[in-house]
Structure 1
Amino acid sequence: MTNKLRIHQQNLRKSSTATQDLLSNLEHSNTDLILIQEPHTNSNNKIMGFPSSSSMYQANSEIIPKTGIFVNNTSLFTKKIEDFSNSWITTIQIHLQQSPLIVSTVYIEPNSISSIHENLVRKLFKTYENVPLIVSGDFNARHTMWHNRITNKHGEVIYEIMNDFDLYLHNDQRPTCLTINGSSIIDLTLTNHKATPFIRNWNSKSNRQSIFDHALIEFDYISRDEIPQRIFNTTRRFNEGKADWGKFRDSINIEELNLAVRNIEHTQNKNKIEHNITKFTKIIQKAASQSMPIIKRSIYHKRSPWWDNELRCMQIVVQNKRYLFTKEKNLIAKQYLYEEYKHFRNKYVRTIRKKKFQQWKVFLEEINTNNTWGNTHKLIKNKLNPKTHTLPIIEDFPPNEHPKIIENIVNNMFPTHTNSPNIEHSTTQESPEQEYNISKEYIENLISKTSKKAPGSDNVTYTMLKAIREIISEPLAKIFSKCLNIGFFPQQWKKASLIIFPKPNKSDYHLHQNYRPISLLSSIGKLLEKILQIEIQNYLIENNKINPNQHGFTPKKSTITALFAIKNKILSDKQHKMTSLITIDFTGAFDNADWNIILNNMHQLQIPQHLIQMMHSYFHHRTITMKYNKIEYSKVMTKGCPQGSPLSPLLWNILINKLLDSFTITNASIYAYADDITVICSSTDLDGLQSIIIESLDFINNFSHQNNLKINFSKTKILNFHKKSFHQPIIIESNTIEIVNKLKILGVIFENHHLKSKINFTSHINSIVNKATITKNILISYCKNTFGIDNRKRKNLFKGLIRPMLTYGSEIWFDQINKSQKKKLESIQHQFLRNSAMAFKTVSKSCINCLTKIETLDTYISIKTMKFLHNNNIQRIDTPNPNLFFKELKKSKLLEIFSQTNQNFQSFFINNYVPKFVHTNYFTTQFSQHTGHLRSISAE
């Protein structure tokens, strides 16, 4: 930790080059804050040119900012003060040990100062008169008091404010703005009496440090105490990108590994088993520490890779040229030197742009890899779903309050169970009918199917386990067999590390319910959980114990099977009855699952006793720990299915299964996808329908009370598939259930249609088109006709990212939409495929389909629907080889499309299709289409 803040201030004159020049000057200075005036925005509402990995504070997105504060030190606790932030002023608060530090930057345009500016600045100094306050910026204020030749209106107003609030001006006689017409001191640094004693080393670098008009101002703030800093807590300790995997495998001490396993095999003592599992884990950790570096995160911005020695030399030349013309007294010589400076500056600017573009092109294209899901894909995903790494629930409050806040977060997200019924279960050891003897191959297969998820507190990742699966699969098989045979789930695999993420589109991020808790568990422990989950689920499926209306996390079931059942039920009931749909939302469903009730339900489902005993051990003394900086808070959990555990969805299904089995209300049907509950009610008359809805809601509400769950009535909605209104509101426990015109169920928006044989999906199609249009605009900015990822990667990106977005749930809604809506979707696909082929807008849809070898959306959805109906035994296809059938169908459709292309296009491909060896790009597409530059060349 340190007690010093390094602060810089710069007017950038709206220049991208000045921004890059500033960052290059500050590359090795460990600057904490940069106070910016006239930033580069490119006429947008966002300051550009600064790295996104750090925080930029500016005016809200409705206005073009004239000021901003860039927090280069990512470890500082900062927040924007909204009352004193707009287009011309930006104010932030930095948490110190004893009191906050307020830092504000100002830009007032020349000859524009008004009472609005004066009143807000006065209010700022009045509000924070008792805490340290720094105001630094370009006031365009000239006054003889700070060594200007003249005094203007701006200077008079600022001088009055300085006198009224007893402010200290840190400027000396050095000018802060130098132009060919002269110099002036208009960039001022003001502090109140609380901040003045702590300002050190104020300096105005007006000679060489900027290629533009304004000097770079720098100073330090030296605090009495150490400044609190954010520590990046993560369970990813090792940098696997720089790992020596051969050395990692060689570093595994096989002799010690086998000794630990033998000790486990030949004991019934659970403490000894625990001890030897710890030794097993430490062997892997030690090998990792010997073969891969620890992840180190710099708290400061690093220079962009395109900045090289050539640019550095050019920068020095330009700075020297500027220095020469500013010091020249002879006007004729000064004008000559200024023109020479401009020439070199413009050359410097062009070189920066060229190198930036070249590096950007290399970054996007990744020509040395065939990976479709590289930088371009990541950029698109980040634009579509921007992630925030800030936690306002903690960071907006002083550090001395953080321990209590952390404790409250954990206790609110994982409350202690106080009213659970005391259900007795046998705790005597029950051995399985046939002892487990898990094979090495089974564990190898299990490890190979794992993904790159974050590890638990032991820092052992799935990537590490995959690298040594041939070595550890047999030892793990023996350890897991032992655990299953004696009904013991090791304690160290029950320790969860808690991380929280802000839920998107929430208004108040100071509330714990607007964050999603994720439990990071041991990767090795999750393998045992997966085995346990497979064992229990196989028993339930083989014995038909799971209700068929549960579609979540069940083999051969999905969101599509759930939506298909819901759609068919609505259409069936709607033909002859009045129909309504209810969606039920449980408050913190997974986090409030009662363990005793789950165990009781397992008994009622007649799950083998040794598996129930294993679940007893799994639940016993589970802990959750949240770390933030050096603060750590742990508690023993008493309920809840940890989100991040392979077992959690199955445990929830066991809990909710009783609701699905016992729900027998006449003219009402219930469907579930994990904790998403949907009920469809129907009746021949309105009063009867309302009565069934109330009866259904009462039944589910009573179930909730009996099972220690709570319905979130504010998120529980009703959608009517009829035009009549209920005579009275539907009220459950004093909560009025909202009736809506449209409802999103498992990602698909349902609405009533005036025809009884239809469901309205207009809002859903509009939503798809809007999202796809946004994605298209993002994609086009990264994938131009002349640069970007190649045709193959673009097609894969379309198939893997775009088309699933366009067609999700199409098995449900495609037969319900009209021709105009289908045409919209085809048009969107055509725009993406045209980008894949790097073609001009004039190229026809049929030619684009042939060049990319991708069928129309209509054909794709038809095949997708046929596969769904066939796989779910709803409408079987009479063929011994369905995959070959679908392949031939797609091929015939593409041949049909080829026949619709123009004669010029067909003349290039004599076999009536585009061969596989033809890879489209900007030039080959023009050639085959006789368009663009090649058309003009051939015309000549």
Structure 2
Amino acid sequence: MTNKLRIHQQNLRKSSTATQDLLSNLEHSNTDLILIQEPNTNSNNKIMGFPSSSSMYQANSEIIPKTGIFVNNTSLFTKKIEDFSNSWITTIQIHLQQSPLIVSTVYIEPNSISSIHENLVRNLFKTYENVPLIVSGDFNARHTMWHNRITNKHGEVIYEIMNDFDLYLHNDQRPTCLTINGSSIIDLTLTNHKATPFIRNWNSKSNRQSIFDHALIEFEYISRDEIPQRIFNTTRRFNEGKADWGKFRDSINIEELNLAVRNIEHTQNKNKIEHNITKFTKIIQKAASQSMPIIKRSIYHKRSPWWDNELRCMQIVVQNKRYLFTKEKNLIAKQYLYEEYKHFRNKYIRTIRKKKFQQWKVFLEEINTNNTWGNTHKLIKNKLNPKTHTLPIIEDFPPNEHPKIIENIVNNMFPTHTNSPNIEHSTTQESPEQEYNISKEYIENLISKTSKKAPGSDNVTYTMLKAIREIISEPLAKIFSKCLNIGFFPQQWKKASLIIFPKPNKSDYHLHQNYRPISLLPSIGKLLEKILQIEIQNYLIENNKINPNQHGFTPKKSTITALFAIKNKILSDKQHKMTSLITIDFTGAFDNADWNIILNNMHQLQIPQHLIQMMHSYFHHRTITMKYNKIEYSKVMTKGCPQGSPLSPLLWNILINKLLDSFTITNASIYAYADDITVICSSTDLDGLQSIIIESLDFINNFSHQNNLKINFSKTKILNFHKKSFHQPIIIESNTIEIVNKLKILGVIFENHHLKSKINFTSHINSTVNKAIITKNILISYCKNTFGIDNRKRKNLFKGLIRPMLTYGSEIWFDQINKSQKKKLESIQHQFLRNSAMAFKTVSKSCINCLTKIETLDTYISIKTMKFLHNNNIQRIDTPNLNLFFKELKKSKLSEIFSQTNQNFQSFFINNYVPKFVHTNYFTTQFFTAHGPFAEYFCRMKISNNPFCSCDNLSIQNPSHLLLNCSHYESIKENLSLNHITNLHSFVQTKENFKKFKKLCQHIHDHLRSIEASNNVHPQPPNC
């Protein structure tokens, strides 16, 4: 920790190069704050050029920001003060030990100061007169008081404010703005009497430190006490990306490992078992510490990888050139030096842009890996679902209040159950004899199926366990067998580390209910939980104990089976009755699950006693711990299924199963997906329907009371599939249930349709299309025709990210939507696939589908629906090989599409399909489709009226002529050994030929473009 804040101020003159120059100057300075005026925004409402890993504070409006504060030190506790932040002023608060520090940056345009500016600045100094306040910025204020030659209106206003509030001006005689027309002091640093004593080392670097007009101003704030800092708390301790996995495996002390296991096998003493499990864990931890570095996180911005020694040298040259012209007194010589400076500066700017783009291209394309889910995918996901690492519920308050806040968070999210069962007493009961002898292969298989989840407090990850699964599988099998045989769940595996995430789209993040709690549990313990979950679930499934209307976390069930059942019930009832749908929301469902009731339900379900006994041990003395900085708060849990535990969904299903079994209200049906409860009610008359709805809600509400759950009535909704209104509102316990026009159920939006045989999914389709358009715009910004991931990765990205988004729930809604909506979805797919093929906008859907080898959305959804109906025994397909059946169906559909492609395309692929090895790119796509810089294409698009090639002015210039007959390209064809080819098909007949064909296409394309540029005849053709 430190008591020093390093603060810099810079006017960037809206330049991206100035931004990069500023960051390069600060590379080794560990600056905490940068106060910015005239930032680079690219004419939008966001400041550009600064690393996204740090915080940028700016105005929350549609107006282009003229100021911003960049917090380079990610460990500081900062927040924006909205009342004193707009386009021309940004103000933040920094938490200190004793009082906050207020920092504000200002930009007032020349000759524009008004009472609005003056009143807000005065109000700022008045509001914070009793706390340290720093105001620094470009006021465009000149006054002889601070050594300007003249005084302007801005200077007069600022001078009056300084006198009225007894402010201190830290500027000296050095100019802060240097142009060819002269110098001035217009960038000022003002402090009130509370901040002035703590300002040190104010400096204006106006000589060699910048290549632009405004000087870099720097100063320090020295606090009386150490400045509170945020510590990044994580259970990931080791940098597995830099691990030596061979050394990790070799570092496992097998002798000690086996000794610990033998000690566990030959004892009934639970303390000894705990002790030896701790030894087992420490062996893995020690091996990790010897083979992989500890994760280190810098709190400051690091230099971008494209910044190299060439740029550093150019920067120094430009700075020196600027220094020479600013110091020159002779006007003629000064003008000459200025022009020389401009020449070198522009060259420097061009080089920055070039290197930046090259690095960006390398970062996106990742040509050395075939992994589709690399940087481009991560960027898209982050844009769609931005992650926030801030916790306003804690960080917006002084550090001395943090311990109490954290205690309140834990106690509110995990309240103590006053009527909690005596779990400790239960664990003393002897379980029936049950011998488990888990195999090594079973554990190996279990470990191999794990994902990259965050570890628990022991820092042991699934990745580590996978790396040594051959070594630890047998020992773990023996440990788990012992635990199951004596009904003991080790204490150290019941210690959860709590992390909280802000829920999206909430208005007040100072409320604990607007955060989602996640319990991070030890990875080894979660393997034992998984075994327990499999054992209990297998028993329930084999003995038909789980209600068939529970679709959540149940084998062969999913959100789609739940939606299918709901849809069919609505359509069935809607034909002859008035129908309504209710969605029930429980407040903190998983976190309030009553252990005693779960155990009682397990008894009633006749789950074997040894498994119930194991669950007694599982519940006994579970703890939850929240760490924040150096603060730690723990409590013993008395209820709840920890979100993050493999057992939690099953335990909830056991709890709610009784509701599903006991719900027998006439003309009402209940469906569940975990804690998402849907009830469908129907009646021949309105009063009867209302009566059934109230009866259903009363029944579920009574169940909630009996099971220590609470319905969230504000989120419980009713959707009517009829046009009539109820005579009275539906009220349960003084809560009026809202009746809505549309309702999202498990990700699909339902609405009433005027036809009795239909459900309206228009809102769902519109929502899906809008989300797809947003995704497409993001994708296109990263995947251009001439750079970005290759065709294969783009197709995989479409299949794995985009198409699931477009078709989620299509088994439910596709037969309910109209042709126009289907056409809209096909159009969206075509836009994505066209980007995958890097094709012009004018290329047909048939060519794109064939070139990408991806069927139409209609075909894909039809196959998807057929699979669903077959797998759920609703409509079986009579075939011995289902995969082959669908493969042939897709092939036949693509063959139909192929017949619709143009003659040029068919000339390349005479067998009516595109070979597997053909992965097109920007250049080959133009030749395959005949949509490129060809004279025939320009003529067809009415861009020109001359379709002939310049080689003889007689031949039509199209792909066939250019590739086979044009004399301009004989030499390149000879160099590529393609001069023997006489038909287009031969270019794609073999993989080797296709590689050469790619080079030929690029050569011809570049030559045609160079001719076009030199003639300046044709405008740019339609592009993606």
User: Which TM bucket (shorter chain)?
Assistant: over 0.9
Deviation at 1:420, TM superposition (A): 4.6
Answer yes or no: is the 8 Å Cα contact 2:423–2:619 preserved in 1. Answer: no
Structure 1 residues 422 and 6: CA distance shift in structure 2, 3 A = closer
CA distance in 2, matches of 1:433, 1:415: 36
Indicate conservation of the 8 Å contact 1:72/1:300, yes or no: yes
Deviation (angstroms), 1:905 = 1.3
Q: Deviations over 1:344-385 (max 9, x none)?
A: 000000000000000000000000000000000000000000
CA RMSD of aligned residues (A): 1.6
**Aligned-residue identity in percent:** 98
Tell me how far apart the structure 1 counterparts of residues 539 and 95 of structure 2 sit (CA, whole Å).
56
Structure 1 gap segments, 5+ residues each: none
Instruction: With the length of structure 2 as denominator, give the TM-score of the two structures.
Output: 0.91
Cα deviation per residue 1:784-818 (whole Å; 9 max; x = unaligned)? 00000000000000000000000000000000000
**Which residue of the partner structure matches residue 935 of structure 1?**
1009
Contact 1:843/1:929 (<8 A) preserved: no
Distance 1:15 1:313 in 2: 20
In structure 2, distance between residues paired with 1:511 and 1:831: 42
Deviations 1:764-785 (A, max 9, x none): 0000000000000000000000
Secondary structure class of the residue paired with 1:426 = helix
Quote the Cα distance in structure 2 between the aligned partners of 1:223 and 1:412: 35
Cα contact 2:433–2:485 (8 A) shared by 1:
no
Greater shift, 430-439 or 509-518, is seen at 430-439
Q: Is the 8 A contact 1:904 1:929 kept in 2?
A: no
**Judging changes above 3 Å, is the alpha-carbon distance between structure 1 residues 456 and 422 closer, same or farther for their aligned structure 2 residues?**
closer
Q: For 1:663-707, what per-residue CA distance to the aligned partner results, in whole angstroms no more than 9, with x for missing partners? A: 000000000000000000000000000000000000000000000
Q: Verify the 8 A CA contact 1:502 1:516 in the aligned structure 2.
A: yes
Distance 2:264 2:847 in 1: 66
Q: Is the 8 A contact 2:547 2:657 kept in 1?
A: yes
Q: Is contact 2:423–2:617 with CA below 8 Å preserved after alignment?
A: no
Deviation at 1:937, TM superposition (A): 8.3
- Cα distance change of structure 1 residues 814 and 505 upon mapping to structure 2, 3 Å threshold: same
Classify 1:274/1:588 alpha carbon distance in 2 versus 1 (closer, same or farther; 3 Å): same
Partners in 1 of 2:170 and 2:830 — Cα distance?
A: 61
Give me the TM-score of the superposition, normalised by structure 1. Answer: 0.99
Cα separation, 2, equivalents of 1:157 and 1:801: 57
Kindly indicate whether the alpha-carbon contact (under 8 Å) linking 1:592 and 1:640 is maintained by their aligned counterparts in 2.
yes
Local SS of the residue matching 2:424: coil
- Cα displacement string for residues 861-912 of structure 1 (whole angstroms, at most 9, x for unaligned residues): 0000000000000000011111110010000000000011112211111111
Give the superposition deviation at 1:229. Answer: 0.3
TM-superposed deviation, 1:915: 1.2
SS at match of 2:433: coil
Q: CA deviation at 1:917?
A: 1.9
Please say if residues 432 and 485 of structure 1, whose CA atoms lie closer than 8 Å, have aligned partners that are also in contact.
no
Aligned ranges 1:368-379 → 2 under 5 Å: 368-379=368-379
Equivalent pair of 2:412/2:512 in contact (CA under 8 Å) = yes
The structure-2 alpha-carbon separation of the partners of 1:424 and 1:618, relative to structure 1 and needing over 3 Å to count, comes to closer
Offset of 1:916 from its aligned partner?
A: 1.4
Q: Does 1:525 align with 2:599?
A: no
Out of 848-857 and 427-436, give the one that drifted further: 427-436
C-alpha distance in 1, partners of 2:1009/2:798? 29
Q: Write the deviation string for residues 586-624 of structure 1: whole angstroms up to 9, x where unpaired.
A: 000000000000000000000000000000000000000
Q: Deviations over 1:604-645 (max 9, x none)?
A: 000000000000000000000000000000000000000000
Distance across 2 between alignment mates of 1:67 and 1:662: 62
The alpha-carbon deviation at position 429 of structure 1 amounts to: 4.6
- DSSP 3-state at the match of 2:49: coil
CA distance in 2, matches of 1:66, 1:192: 24
**Cα gap change, 1:432 to 1:451, in 2 (>3 Å):** farther
Alignment of 1:223-622 (within 5 A): 223-420=223-420, 427=427, 429-431=429-431, 434-622=434-622
In structure 1, the partner of 2:155 is: 155
What's the offset of the Cα at 1:432? 5.3
Moved over 2 A (4+): 419-434, 926-939
Alpha carbons 2:238, 2:295 under 8 Å: kept: yes
Q: Give 1:170 shift.
A: 0.1
Distance change in 2, residues 1:115/1:240 (3 Å): same
Q: Distance in 2 between matches of 1:440 and 1:517?
A: 34
- Contact 1:322–1:341 (8 Å) recurs in 2: yes
Deviation at 1:929, TM superposition (A): 14
Alpha-carbon deviation of 1:921? 0.5
Contact 1:493 1:522 (C-alpha < 8 Å) held by counterparts? yes
How many residue pairs end up in the alignment?
939
**Aligned pairs for 1:857-876 within 5 A:** 857-876=857-876
Q: CA contact under 8 A between 2:57 and 2:80: conserved in structure 1?
A: yes
CA contact (8 A) 2:423 2:620 kept: no
Distance 2:273 2:421 in 1: 32
8 Å Cα contact 2:621/2:636 also seen in 1 = yes
Question: What is the rounded CA distance, in whole Å, between the counterparts of 1:846 and 1:829 in structure 2?
Answer: 12
- Tell me the SS of whatever aligns to 1:424: helix
What secondary structure is seen at the aligned counterpart in 2 of 1:518? Answer: strand
Partner SS for 2:606: coil
The aligned counterpart of 1:650 is 650
* CA distances 1:316-361 after superposition (whole Å, capped 9, x unpaired): 0000000000000000000000000000000000000000000000
CA distance in 2, matches of 1:292, 1:419: 47
- The offset of 1:419, in angstroms, is 3.5
Q: 1:430 deviation in Å?
A: 4.3
Q: What is the CA distance between 1:914 and its match in structure 2?
A: 1.1
Q: Is the 8 A contact 1:652 1:674 kept in 2?
A: yes
Q: Matched residue of 1:804: which SS?
A: helix
* Contact 2:420–2:639 under 8 Å retained in 1: no
Instruction: Tell which deviates more after alignment, 274-283 or 419-428.
Output: 419-428
Q: CA deviation at 1:61?
A: 3.7
Deviation at 1:178, TM superposition (A): 0.2
Post-superposition Cα deviations, 1:20-49, rounded to whole Å, max 9, x if no partner, equal 000000000000000000000000100000
> How far 1:936 sits from its partner (Å)?
11
Tell me if structure 1 keeps the 8 A contact 2:423–2:616.
no
Contact 1:489/1:618, CA 8 A, preserved across alignment? yes
8 Å Cα contact 2:104-2:134 kept in structure 1: yes
Relative to 1, partners in 2 of residues 1:331 and 1:936: Cα closer, same or farther, differing over 3 Å? closer
8 Å CA contact retained: 2:923, 2:1002? no
Is the 8 Å Cα contact of residues 423 and 600 (structure 1) preserved in structure 2? no
Task: Report the Cα offset of residue 427 of structure 1.
Answer: 4.7
Distance 2:320 2:290 in 1: 49
- In the aligned structure 2, how far is the partner of 1:633 from the partner of 1:420? 21
SS in 2 for 1:639: coil
What is the DSSP-based 3-state SS (H/G/I as helix, E as strand, rest coil) of the residue aligned with 2:340? helix
- Secondary structure at the counterpart of residue 718 of structure 1: strand
Matches of 2:1008 and 2:673 in 1, distance apart? Answer: 55
Query: Partners of 2:849 and 2:727 in 1: how far apart?
Result: 54
Q: Are the structure 2 counterparts of residues 938 and 227 from structure 1 closer, same or farther at C-alpha, using a change threshold of 3 Å?
A: closer
Q: Deviations over 1:466-491 (max 9, x none)?
A: 00000000000000000000000000
